[in-house]
Amino acid sequence: MNNLPNTPLLQAQQVSKTYPDGEVRALNEVDLAIDHGDYVALMGPSGSGKSTLLNLFGALDVPTSGDIIFEGQPLSQIDNLDRFRSEKIGFVFQSFHLLPVLTAMENVQIPMFETSLAAARRVERSHELLGAVGMGHRATHLPRQLSVGERQRVAIARALANGPPLLLADEPTGNLDTANALAILDLFDELRRERPLTIIMVTHDEQLAHRAERIVRLRDGQIVDDGLARARS
Amino acid sequence: MLRRPVRSLLTVTGVGLAVGAVVSLVGIASGFERSFVDLYARRGVDLVVVRSGVTERLTSALTESLGERIARTPGVRSVTPVLMDVVSFEDLDLFGVVVQGLKHDALALADLKIDAGRVLAAGDRQRVILGAMLARNLGKSVGQAVEILEGEPFEVVGIFESYNVFENGAMIVLLDELQRLMDREDQVTAFNVRAAGLADRAAIERLAAAIEQVAPGLQAMPTEDYVNTDSKIRVARSMAWLTSTIALVLGTVGVLNTMIMSVFERTREIGILRAMGWRKSRVMKMILWESVLLSLAGAVIGTVLALVGTRFLSRLPSASGIVDGGIAPMIVVQGFLIALVVGLLGGAYPARRGARMLPTEALHHE
């Protein structure tokens, strides 16, 4: 994590989000900066806006007002958000979201189809990534043949397919027992040691959140506590 | 597709039936048409002269002596008078069997491949030669008698094989015998005209115009036009395309329904792909490709059904002289192209719908 640029990796600037189907304001003028290499836990009760913020960070949705800045560039000025997601963001979901008809290796290759990698290189890289998450021996298995913990490992390998600098994890341990949940967080630590990776993780679990280096708490669409800010003040 | 094998199979079957209908019906119609054009070309016939204004070719009636006047037209090499009529053998369920009346020296007779017996000769009274298919359907062989009209037994002196399915299901007697039999003294249905030298299309059309000046009421047509404008062929072609169009619309609706269901069921998966950075165009291509794959699988089944079906039909007595059992490769290619269009049409809306889904909404789809 040394020699990182001074510009934050990610910034939310006065970000608000109101969903069109109701007058619910999911986020209300949120400001937040995430540095390169940060490991952030987003916490808050249901409806506090943490998943909405994660979706905005991942360019899966656009803010009603304000902007998300990634490496100094506003997402609103990026023409091809699909390519941005493919290259810059890795997603890990609570329900793993692996495609059931594809093997672990094929699932890992999904994001690579948007790159210029040749087929042979895609296979090679998926093997490398599965090896990195301890799933090299299960490469040809279908998701239904894997345990829930293994499925989440495959999902993490998939998230890292194109070497993104940012990993967004929405309740990554929500469907796992404690042992598997801890194993996944150990894997996050290991991955951060091996590569320059920033992780933002949404979680309900206070204990697991403390594995992160910074805890940001939201309530009613606003940041009510920022662990790092408190440490610095 | 593999996750819902029964639904996919039903869709493939639907497209298969649609493509099968196109390939078989259009194939039969165009094969029938093509075989006539080829037959005339093979015998060197450049023009067919009939009574003008007649839509049903068999009812054309011209005076036989006009043949000599047509033959004197500059540019004409030879003229062959042909009389055609139809008879039925109701006890055998054979209806509309064509009887051709030709002169013994007609080129058409010389061109026939005789399987048994001999060809007609000058002076053959109450003698007939049968097309191979008709002989099979009638159960007749050389030496046996065929009652063409009641009380008119004709001895079978030969059985021939023609390049034309229509002729294989027909019989031939001498021209004057058919004129006597049908009470059409000095009448012919048409004159087949061969032009002198290697004439191009323009020269043939000029010759046709000259022949039409020989006598009022004559219509001379290049053989291809003669075949293409035949009312039976036109009706067959129209019916084939109409039936095929209905089948194709049904096939397209089937694919559309399957793909809409498939996209709906996979909404969350599409959301995942979009979240992973897949462009809308890639998602669209994926759905369209599936749809096209279903349709092309249907085309394979449909083509096999059509080939087997037409072969089977060609062996039925009731279809003899109509279905030759072969389908031109171009018609098969046409069937596959149509299946491709069905796949693209059936997949277009679901693909667009799938690609336009917002990743966040798709991911939360239950």
Q: What is the DSSP letter of B26?
A: I
Strands (E), chain B: 47-51, 62-63, 76-89, 94-102, 113-117, 127-131, 145-149, 152-161, 171-174, 187-188, 190-195, 218-222
The alpha carbon of residue A118 is apart from the nearest alpha carbon of chain B, in Å, by 17
Residue B176 confidence (pLDDT) above 90: yes
Q: What is the DSSP letter of B295?
A: H
Torsion of CA B22, B24, B29, B35, to 10 degrees: 130
Which chain A residues are within 8 Å of B275, Cβ to Cβ? 58, 60, 85, 91
User: Quick one: CA dihedral A57, A59, A60, A65, positive or negative?
Assistant: positive
Report CB contact under 8 Å: A101, B3. Answer: yes
The answer to whether A179 and A148 have CB atoms below 8 angstroms apart is: no
Report CB contact under 8 Å: B277, A97. Answer: no
The alpha carbon of residue B37 is apart from the nearest alpha carbon of chain A, in Å, by 52
Around A90, how many Cα atoms within 13 Å sit in the side-chain half-sphere?
A: 26
Query: pLDDT, tens digit, for every residue of A103-159?
Result: 999 999 999 998 889 999 999 999 999 998 999 999 999 999 999 999 999 999 999
Query: pLDDT, tens digit, for every residue of B104-153?
Result: 988 888 888 999 999 999 999 999 999 998 999 899 999 999 998 888 89
Q: Rounded to whole angstroms, what are the CA distances from A144 to A101, A149, B88, B268?
A: 9, 12, 68, 17
User: What pLDDT sits at residue B320?
Assistant: 59
Mean pLDDT of B288-306: 92
Q: Which residue of B has its CA nearest to A167?
A: B276
Pinpoint the alpha helices (H) of B22-145: 27-42, 66-71, 107-110, 132-138
Report CB contact under 8 Å: A114, B280. Answer: no
pLDDT bucket at A41, cuts 50 / 70 / 90:
very high
Query: pLDDT, tens digit, for every residue of B310-332?
Result: 888 877 766 655 666 678 888 89
- Contacting B with CB below 8 Å, chain A residues are 55, 58, 60-61, 80, 82-87, 89, 91, 93, 97, 99-101, 110-111, 113-114, 158, 161-162
Q: What angle do CA B43, B49, B50 make, to 5 degrees?
A: 125
CB nearest A82 (choices: B272, B279, B358):
B279
User: What pLDDT sits at residue A22?
Assistant: 65
Query: pLDDT, tens digit, for every residue of A3-37?
Result: 445 789 999 999 999 987 767 788 999 999 999 99
Mean pLDDT of A180-189: 90
**Hey, how many other C-beta atoms are within 10 angstroms of the C-beta on B41?**
12
DSSP A71-137: TTEEGGG-S-HHHHHHHHEEEEETT----TTS-HHHHHHGGGGGS---HHHHHHHHHHHHHHTT-GG
pLDDT bucket at A2, cuts 50 / 70 / 90:
very low
Q: Which amino acid is at B47?
A: L
β-sheet bridge partners, residue A33: A11
User: What pLDDT sits at residue B91?
Assistant: 84
- The span from the first CA to the last CA of chain A, in angstroms, equals 23
**Residue B329 contacts by C-beta under 8 Å, 6 or more apart in sequence?**
none
What is the bridge-based pairing of β-strands B127-131 and B152-161? Answer: parallel
The answer to whether B231 and B55 have CB atoms below 8 angstroms apart is: yes
Task: Write down the mean pLDDT value for chain B.
Answer: 87
What's the token pair of residue B329?
A: 């490769």
CB nearest B276 (choices: A55, A80, A111):
A111
The answer to whether B103 and B81 have CB atoms below 8 angstroms apart is: yes
Which chain A residues are within 8 Å of B280, Cβ to Cβ? 82
Closest CA to B61 of B78, B76, B49, B46: B49
User: What pLDDT sits at residue A233?
Assistant: 36
Closest CA to B164 of B13, B282, B36: B36
DSSP chain A: -TT--SS-SEEEEEEEEE-TTSS-EEEEEEEEEE-TT-EEEEE-STTSSHHHHHHHHTTSS--SEEEEEETTEEGGG-S-HHHHHHHHEEEEETT----TTS-HHHHHHGGGGGS---HHHHHHHHHHHHHHTT-GGGTT--GGGS-HHHHHHHHHHHHTTT--SEEEEESTTTTS-HHHHHHHHHHHHHHHHHS--EEEEE-S-HHHHTTSSEEEEEETTEEEEEHHHHHH-
Q: pTM higher than 0.90 for the full model?
A: no
User: What pLDDT sits at residue B322?
Assistant: 63
Pairwise CA distance, residues B276 & B352, whole Å: 19
Residue A199 confidence (pLDDT) above 90: yes
User: What pLDDT sits at residue B198?
Assistant: 65
Q: Which residue has the tokens 């009022």?
A: B216
Task: Write down the mean pLDDT value for chain A.
Answer: 89
Pairwise CA distance, residues B7 & A219, whole Å: 47
Q: Rounded to whole angstroms, what are the CA distances from A201 to A85, A208, A215?
A: 17, 10, 9
Residue A187 confidence (pLDDT) above 70: yes
Largest CA distance in chain B: 91
Pairwise CA distance, residues B323 & A158, whole Å: 58
Q: Which residue of A has its CA nearest to B268?
A: A97
Query: pLDDT, tens digit, for every residue of A207-216?
Result: 889 999 999 9
User: Quick one: CA dihedral A179, A180, A185, A188, positive or negative?
Assistant: positive
Closest CA to B259 of B284, B238, B290, B283: B290
Phi, then psi, of A9 in degrees rounded to 5: -65, -40
Query: pLDDT, tens digit, for every residue of B8-44?
Result: 888 888 888 888 888 888 888 887 777 777 777 777 8
Residue A231 confidence (pLDDT) above 60: no
Pairwise CA distance, residues A139 & A95, whole Å: 19
Pairwise CA distance, residues A20 & A216, whole Å: 26
The answer to whether B192 and B70 have CB atoms below 8 angstroms apart is: no
User: What pLDDT sits at residue B2?
Assistant: 63
Mean pLDDT of A78-88: 91
Lowest mean pLDDT across B35-49, B71-85, B147-161:
B35-49
What is the bridge-based pairing of β-strands B62-63 and B113-117? Answer: unpaired
CB burial string B114-130: b at 16+ within 10 A, e below = eebbebbeeebeebbbb
Pairwise CA distance, residues B362 & B350, whole Å: 14
